[in-house]
């Protein structure tokens, strides 16, 4: 019920015409201080209280004057997002379903890996790209997340589990992050700032299905994040069958963008390859994949498909996944064969929100 109390609290504060500072960046808070007739550096202090120290009550911000604290409380508030449902898997994976202020649902997944945790966060409500194997794609697209809703997923986890809530962050939940570019950039600035969530950009990975203009933009930006590209097929014809946007951004453009990012950043790219039984798992597929990435500083993550209700795609056996990985080696570099996590809690992207949305539609008055 806590999420409902917070939601009502936020609605009440909005009705009082106060503004939620959740998602405000450092430059925005510095500007806000100037607008309030204060010194710019006070924006840095406020930024640190909100994101680093996670103090949302202005009264407790002891290095700000009483007058400023009162002024802030009269006009602003800082309320995060809350989980409406949490599902825990037998393998330790946890999935968080967040209900946003307009009643939309998004998800984050916390995945334990060798004593550390990786969090997979969402960037959009639904997704416009409609990849045919994806539960989020099936839901359609509603809207982009705000910067605050992106950062809010992480703040919630920090509040629940403390500083060690997660080590790595991947933008691999609901939505295509590069289609919500400005909020992606602003959220990464908050997350990676030492005064903010203080997570090194090296620990942050942006995962895309291949929006090539934004891959170039990200390569040219100041953000030192990692890039993962969802390939899932090594020839255009097969790729277009499962990723409709591949009709616009073909493999030639995508590989050029990948090489550009790797060169600009002097970083390895990660290529994600989901194995679908009898679709992209043959020896020929492995050979084409090895040829496609030849010469690109990269690693390949192979993942068995996590089956989704009402979709025809099937999961290969672990042995078949291992065999595909072995057939790539040693032609393609650093292949990691990963097992799907959280199958018992519908941990594939969009599954939990999709189920909740369907339940609500089925039970609508």
Binding track over 85-124 against ligand SF4, x by CB under 6 A: ----------------------------------------
Question: What CA–CA distance (Å, rounded) separates 288 from 130?
Answer: 25
Which span sits near ligand SF4 by CB under 6 A: 67-75, 92-100, 131-139, 215-223?
Answer: 131-139
Interaction between residue 136 and ligand SF4 (CB under 6 A): yes
| Piece in contact with ligand SF4 (CB under 6 A), picked from 126-134, 146-154, 155-163, 262-270 | 126-134
Q: Does 131 bind ligand SF4 (CB under 6 A)?
A: yes
Residues binding ligand SF4: number (CB under 6 A): 12
Nearest to ligand SF4 of 72, 228 (CB atom):
228
Q: Give me the least distance between CB of 131 and ligand SF4, in Å please.
A: 3
349 binds ligand SF4 (CB under 6 A): yes
| Residue 158 touches ligand SF4, criterion: CB under 6 A | no
Residues 145 and 123: beta-carbon distance below 8 Å: yes
Considering the complex, what minimum distance in angstroms separates the CB of residue 295 from ligand SF4?
26
Q: Which residue, 61 or 347, has its beta carbon nearer to ligand SF4?
A: 347
Q: Which of 129, 233, 303, 321 binds ligand SF4 (CB under 6 A)?
A: 129
Query: Rounded to the nearest whole angstrom, what is the least distance from the CB of residue 194 to ligand SF4 in the complex?
Result: 31
Question: How far is the CA of 242 from the CAs of 93, 247, 316, in angstroms?
Answer: 27, 10, 17
Q: Which is nearer to ligand SF4, 79 or 174 (CB)?
A: 174
Our answer to whether residue 349 is catalytic in this structure is yes
Is there binding between residue 353 and ligand SF4 (CB under 6 A)?
no
Residue 176 touching ligand SF4 (CB under 6 A):
yes
Query: Which one from 107, 149, 176, 189 is the annotated catalytic residue?
Result: 107
Is 134 catalytic? The answer is no
Q: How far is the CB of 46 from ligand SF4 (least distance, A)?
A: 34
Among 33, 111, 121, 127, binds ligand SF4 (CB under 6 A): 127
Spacing of C-alpha 241 from chain mean position: 24
Binding mask 2-41 for ligand SF4 (x = CB under 6 A): ----------------------------------------
Q: What string of H, E and C letters represents the secondary structure of the chain?
A: CHHHHHHHHHHHHHHCCCEECCCCCHHHHHHHHHHCCCCCHHHHHHHHHHHHCCCCCHHHCCCCCHHHHHHHHHHEECCCCCEEEEEECCCCCEEEEEECCCCCEEEEEEEEECCEEEEECCCEEECCCCCCCCHHHHHCEEEECCHHHHHHHHHHHHHHHCHHHCCEEEECCCCCHHHHHHHHHHHHHHHHCCCCCCCCHHHEEEEECCCHHHHHHHHHCCCCCEEEEECCCCCHHHHHHHCHHHHCCCHHHHHHHHHHHHHHHCCCEEEEEEECCCCCCCHHHHHHHHHHHCCCCEEEEEEECCCCCCCCCCCCCHHHHHHHHHHHCCCCCCEEEECCCCHHHCCCCCHHHHHHHHHHHHCCC
Does 257 interact with ligand SF4 (rule: CB under 6 A)?
no
Q: Using the rule CB under 6 A, which residue among 72, 125, 134, 286 binds ligand SF4?
A: 134
Residue 246 Cβ vs ligand SF4, minimum distance, rounded to whole Å: 10
CB of 177 to ligand SF4, least distance (A): 9
- Asked whether the beta carbons of 87 and 355 are under 8 A apart, the reply is no
CB 210, min distance to ligand SF4, A: 9
Catalytic residues: 107, 349
Residues in contact with ligand SF4 by CB under 6 A are 127, 129-131, 134, 136-137, 174-176, 209, 349
């Amino acid at each position: 019920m806590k999420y409902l109390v917070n939601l009502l609290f936020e609605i009440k504060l909005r009705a009082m015409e106060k503004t939620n500072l959740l998602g405000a960046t450092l430059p925005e808070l510095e500007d806000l201080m100037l607008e309030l007739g204060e010194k710019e550096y006070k924006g840095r202090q406020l930024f640190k209280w909100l994101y680093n120290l996670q103090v949302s009550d202005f009264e407790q911000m002891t290095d700000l004057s009483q007058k400023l604290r009162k002024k802030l409380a009269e006009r602003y508030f800082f309320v995060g997002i809350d989980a409406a449902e949490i599902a825990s898997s037998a393998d330790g994976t946890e999935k968080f379903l967040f209900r946003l202020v307009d009643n939309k649902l998004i998800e984050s997944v916390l995945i334990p890996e060798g004593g550390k945790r990786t969090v997979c966060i969402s960037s959009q409500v639904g997704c416009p790209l409609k990849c045919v194997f994806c539960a989020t794609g099936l839901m359609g697209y509603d809207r982009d997340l705000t910067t605050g809703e992106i950062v809010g997923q992480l703040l919630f986890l920090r509040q629940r589990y403390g500083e060690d809530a997660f080590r790595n962050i991947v933008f691999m939940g609901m939505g295509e992050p590069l289609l919500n570019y400005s909020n992606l950039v602003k959220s990464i600035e908050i997350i990676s700032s030492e005064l903010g969530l203080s997570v090194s950009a090296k620990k942050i990975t942006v995962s895309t299905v291949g929006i090539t203009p934004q891959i170039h933009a990200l390569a040219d930006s100041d953000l030192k994040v990692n890039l993962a590209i969802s390939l899932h097929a090594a020839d255009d014809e097969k790729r277009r069958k499962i990723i409709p946007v591949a009709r616009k951004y073909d493999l030639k453009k995508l590989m050029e963008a990948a090489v550009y990012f790797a060169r600009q950043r002097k970083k390895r790219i990660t290529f994600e390859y989901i194995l679908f039984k009898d679709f992209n798992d043959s020896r020929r597929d492995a050979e084409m994949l090895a040829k496609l990435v030849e010469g690109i500083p990269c690693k390949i993550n192979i993942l068995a498909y996590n089956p989704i209700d009402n979709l025809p795609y099937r999961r290969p056996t672990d042995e078949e996944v291992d065999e595909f990985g072995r057939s790539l080696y040693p032609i393609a570099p650093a292949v990691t064969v990963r097992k799907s996590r959280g199958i018992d809690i519908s941990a594939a992207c969009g599954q939990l929100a999709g189920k909740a949305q369907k339940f609500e539609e089925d039970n609508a008055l």
